[in-house]
Chains A and B, each alone.
Chain A
Amino acid sequence: MDLEVESDDFVGWTGRPIKCEINVLSKPEGSCIFSQGGTVVMAALYGPHEIKHGKIQTEETPAFQMSYRSKKGPPSNESRSLEELIKTACESVVFTRTFARHELTLVVQEMQNCGGILSCAINAGCLAMINSGVDMQHLVLAVTACLTNDNRIVVDPDESQLKSAKMSMEVAFDSELFNVIMVNSQGTSSVEEYQNTIGKCRESARILKEYFKSVVKKYAEALL
């Protein structure tokens, strides 16, 4: 069953080519392998399963466990903060009221990092959630962008572009109103430049949504 979808057909996507395959693993409820250019990430979602003794779920914060495995060695500060960002972005879209006293576990494995790992991981997490059939309020679509020294905005830059950029940001949008769920930016930019970059990211997120749709469509056709 060939479930691979490529982004070549999507007019307007200015970033690196996207490739993805869902339902790659048999054990977890949902899984996907997602790549943007050279950056490849694998995500798997387990659950909902019952919460083990001792943990209590509060009314609104879902019991959502997340582990991000980086390619090399023990978790560093950097990968821990990435984990926290991915976790908060992904858990905010889950419709948790429907499974009280149950928790979800999302595992994201970095396979290869050529820049933009955070947005890639969030997208992979979202696709894994779609694949598992967990109730979601909306999708989460993440885009990386950077501002080069000559004030050009590059959407989905590669590693060398990121290194030389004066500002870089990762933004995650919801798929309904395209409001900002998560934003993480670092570097120097003026307020207008900041606004323009977010605008560009939003445009790309709209295309990304179409891409996600086509993935789901192809998967549904294969199921039939």
Chain B
Amino acid sequence: MIDNEEIEDMLREIRKNEKDAGKRISLADLAPQGQKSVSLYERKKREMANRRGRTDGRKDDDHRPMFIQLGTVSDARGSCYVEIGDTKVVVSIRGPKEIPNLKEYTEMCEIECLIEYAPFANSPTTNEGYMCHAVRQALEPAICRHEFPNFQIAVSAFVIEDRGSVLSAIINGASLALTHARLPCFGIVSSVIAAVCDDRILMDPEYEEEAYCQAAGKADSCGLVTLSYMPDMEQITFYEQNGYLAEPLKMVEPLVKKCQEIHKICIQHALKEAKSSVNVLAATQDATNSVKSLKV
């Protein structure tokens, strides 16, 4: 028989465990001596110091393979699933709906952004609130906001797994979800993150590379650069730099080039989706026409 008290007891123990940090034992403490706690981060540090290649065998300016699927969430107006390497993100768009408790007339449509990390994902390297802000800034120039005064569009992103470059994955996904939602846009925004360490520019960094480049302050130039670009209008919608860079302007050109490459992939997927939905529409149109011709 089920012993409910036992379950209750166990839950109480877990809650107590959460509060009492001293009781927790980290797995790294149990590693065998000698090779004690060679975390991925440490390995990355050595690798960077030795100026060798990257762990996954990529070249410095290689982007990880991307997987894009539109229309993953059934009841959202637009949605997109993006996978960059092992980073997995789902983005969905809701709205436009009226802004609740509106005080005065707002000429431009508001964009509300929410980013949520799965409990089992890596803890985020940057603050979630800040990431929301970044996504909003990157998307605002791309959406025809003047068409929806007093309205808001909600962008919500769910990070299933974080293996680096989450922000760019979210921006790419959100922009594609906007096209899937059939909201008027000036163009598709694509985004790339680069990690800089001395004179190396690592495109699309992994989680550890990101963490290293943000933490290490000793090198000559070191940091993270995020850029989102709208090739249709030839505009940079968002640029952000974290850390110290000797020549920041030198970064822009290679990043824009990378964005254009990604843009091509995004366009392909958006087109494919649009074509299939047009086909479906045509099929239903045919069906209604044939029903009409029956003349019941």
Contacts and interface: CB of A to CB of B under 8 A. Distances in A.
CB–CB under 8 A between A and B in the complex? yes
Interface stretch (B1-9, B92-100, B113-121, B240-248): B1-9
Does more than half of chain A's interface fall in helix, strand or loop, or is it mixed? mixed
B73 interface: no
A166 B1 contact: yes
Contacts of B2: 186-187
A98 B2 CA distance: 41
A78 interface: yes
A164 B4 contact: no
B14 interface: no
B8 A77 contact: yes
A119 to B, nearest CB: 16
Interface in B68-92: none
B11 interface: yes
Nearest to A186: B2
Interface in A84-114: none
Interface residues of A, number: 12
A168 B1 CA distance: 8
Contacts of A165: 1
Of all A-B residue pairs in the complex, the 3 with the closest CB atoms, nearest first, are A186-B2, A78-B4, A165-B1
B2 to A, nearest CB: 5
B8 A76 contact: yes
Interface residues of B, number: 5
Contacts of A186: 1-2
Contacts of A76: 8
A41 interface: no
Interface in B112-135: none
A162 to B, nearest CB: 7
B160 to A, nearest CB: 28
B128 to A, nearest CB: 29
6 contacts: A77-B11, A78-B4, A78-B8, A162-B1, A168-B1, A186-B2
A76 B9 CA distance: 11
Interface of B: 1-2, 4, 8, 11
Nearest to B11: A77
A163 interface: yes
Contacts of A77: 8, 11
A25 to B, nearest CB: 30
B1 A187 contact: yes
Contacts, number: 16
Nearest to B12: A76
Interface in A114-134: none
Nearest to A149: B1
Nearest to B4: A78
For A76, A165, A168, A186, the residue with the greatest tally of chain B CB atoms inside 10 Å of its CB is A76
Interface in A130-177: 162-168
Interface in A160-219: 162-168, 186-187
B11 A163 contact: no
Contacts of A78: 4, 8
Contacts of A187: 1-2
Contacts of B4: 78
Contacts of B11: 77
A168 B3 CA distance: 12
A77 B5 CA distance: 10
Nearest to A163: B1
A77 B11 CA distance: 10
B1 A164 contact: yes
A187 B3 CA distance: 11
A163 B1 CA distance: 6
Contacts of B8: 76-78
Contacts of A162: 1
A89 B234 CA distance: 64
Given A78-B8, A186-B1, A186-B2, 12 more contacts: A76-B8, A77-B8, A77-B11, A78-B4, A162-B1, A163-B1, A164-B1, A166-B1, A167-B1, A168-B1, A187-B1, A187-B2
A78 B1 CA distance: 15
Contacts of B1: 162-168, 186-187
A59 to B, nearest CB: 24
Interface in A36-69: none
A186 B2 CA distance: 7
Nearest to A81: B4
A76 B2 CA distance: 16
Contacts of A163: 1
Contacts of A167: 1
For B1, B2, B11, the residue with the greatest tally of chain A CB atoms inside 10 Å of its CB is B1
B13 to A, nearest CB: 14
A107 to B, nearest CB: 23
A164 B4 CA distance: 13
A164 B1 CA distance: 7
